Chain A
Amino acid sequence: MRASVQKRALYLLLCTFIAYGVLVASHEGEFWPFSIYPMFSQAGNEWSRAVVRSVDESGTTTDWASIHQHELPGEPLALTDYGLRHDLANFIARTETWDDDRVAGLERMFREPLRDHRLLVYRVRGGLVDGDSVAVWFEPYAFLSADTTVLNPDLR
């Protein structure tokens, strides 16, 4: 009896393993909860993240030049205070065309903080320079207020 149980258990395990393999192979390594776990697999590449600053009335929407961290205007907006996670960075990095739906998606993400803040979203890029140090750039990406959204024309 136990031998047949073991045989069936192995068969079920094999079937799940095959389904796992087929699904991750046909979906670029990800079909939740199956995964090839590729995090940090592409070492050395430049990365792109995002930070948000709360700016006052003088916050400009016309100066889109890249800056360093110590030059960031306003105050940091901690995303966790609004229940937001890492989605913003991926939202920006993976968006190629900013159509109306995508802009609306960005506005919706910040619906709550926009009640009290004017926001500057920065795309932050980093990478190795000269082989032994890491450089980080802050590129203004979008300005959002309760009634206005302006995207950096150079990045759109």
Chain B
Amino acid sequence: MINRFAHHLFDFNRPESRGEVIFFKLLEIAAGGILIYQVWGWAAYIRTISDVVMPLGLAHYIDITFMFDTALPVVNAALISGLLLAGFLRLSRWAYPVAFVLLLFQYAARYSLGEIPHGTNLTAMVLLGLSIAGLAFSDKTIQRRFTLGFTYFFVGLAYTLAAWSKLIGTGPHWIDGSHLWIWLHEKAIDTLALQGSHSFNALQELAFSNYYIASFFLLAGLITEFFAWLFWLKPTRLWMGLALLGLHAGIFLMLHITFWMNVVLLILLTLPWATWIDHSLMRTPVAEPIARVTSRIG
């Protein structure tokens, strides 16, 4: 059984196509690009911080205030960016792991004010998978397969844990529609604070209009998360991925939370990009050797 599980995640025995190699590069570029974008944004934000309200991650063990009021966040962002590029170019197998460690500092400094965001968690898990793969395996195909399987596993785990957190934190009555009404007002205040105004959209008004409709929305979300472990299995990965994308669409329309980094990752991991690239490569005409063309003319 464990071997079948591993086969679903890693599939080491299947030959690797050119499409898969190109797709993996795209995944790496997306993950690296997202993380570079984030660390520079965090570096800019850290300038507004002078105190640790609630330590997160590494800040439990290190006084992260040394990152405040200095150029260190910018230096760290530059280092992380350089290391991610070096990792992508395979200049060193330590580039990704060191970038990951430096990211821990950047995150801890940025999120020391009490907010606990989860937008970058899965992207950072891709980097962790790349880091482990580079250190543990020398074969590039195996590195890619391991990273993908590693990512599939932790994406499925993340959403499944989210469902269990709700069931443990509240219980089955989490789906009570009035809970959604409370969050809709909470998010409206967030929008008011961020943008200066807010108004409810048609879907939100629909949820307000009927308790059972509101409860149905929550039920659909909880069921989707509860079965997210189906992302681990090859036959169900596509459908589960689409369901999770639908979940994010619902969260965006209802609560104005985009989770855009997770959405990018899910779009990449769910849709059969490698197959599409392979088909595209097969359709692309290849230039015939000149000798063969001239002999045919002759």
Q: Which residues of A contact B (CB under 8 A)?
A: 2, 5-6, 8-10, 12-13, 16-17, 20, 27, 29-45, 47, 49-52, 75-80, 83-91, 93-95, 101-102, 104-105, 108-109, 111, 124, 126-128, 131-134, 136
Is B174's CB within 8 Å of the partner chain A? yes
Q: Is the CB of B194 within 8 A of A79?
A: yes
Q: Which residues of B contact A (CB under 8 A)?
A: 2-3, 6-7, 9-10, 12-13, 44-45, 48-51, 53-54, 56-57, 60, 104, 107-108, 111, 113-116, 118, 120-122, 124-125, 128, 132, 136-137, 139, 142, 145-146, 149-150, 153-154, 157-159, 161-162, 164-166, 168-170, 173-174, 176, 178-179, 181-186, 189-190, 192-197, 211
A-B CB contacts (within 8 Å), total count: 201
Q: How far is the CB of A109 from chain B (nearest CB, A)?
A: 5
Chain B minimum-CB-distance residue to A48: B186
Of the candidates A8, A13, A51, A101, the one whose C-beta lies within 8 Å of that of B189 is: A51
In the complex with contacts A16-B150, A41-B170, A49-B186, A2-B12 CB distance below 8 A: yes
SS class of chain B's interface: helix, strand, loop or mixed? Answer: helix
Of the candidates B7, B50, B114, the one whose C-beta lies within 8 Å of that of A93 is: B114
> What residues on A are CB-neighbors of B136 within 8 Å?
8, 12
Of the candidates B121, B159, B193, the one whose C-beta lies within 8 Å of that of A52 is: B193
Of the candidates A42, A77, A101, A111, the one whose C-beta lies within 8 Å of that of B51 is: A101
12 of the cross-chain contacts (CB-CB < 8 Å) are: A6-B3, A9-B146, A17-B157, A37-B161, A47-B182, A78-B195, A86-B115, A90-B113, A94-B53, A94-B54, A104-B50, A126-B189
> What residues on A are CB-neighbors of B196 within 8 Å?
75-78
* Further 18 A-B residue pairs, CB within 8 A, beyond A10-B2, A33-B107, A126-B186: A5-B12, A8-B137, A9-B6, A9-B145, A12-B136, A27-B57, A30-B57, A32-B56, A35-B121, A38-B165, A39-B162, A42-B169, A44-B176, A47-B186, A86-B190, A89-B115, A90-B115, A128-B181
> What residues on A are CB-neighbors of B50 within 8 Å?
101, 104-105, 108
SS class of chain A's interface: helix, strand, loop or mixed? Answer: mixed
> What residues on B are CB-neighbors of A105 within 8 Å?
49-51, 53, 113
Q: Is the CB of A84 within 8 A of B48?
A: yes
Q: How far is the CB of B215 from chain A (nearest CB, A)?
A: 11
Q: Is the CB of B174 within 8 A of A43?
A: yes
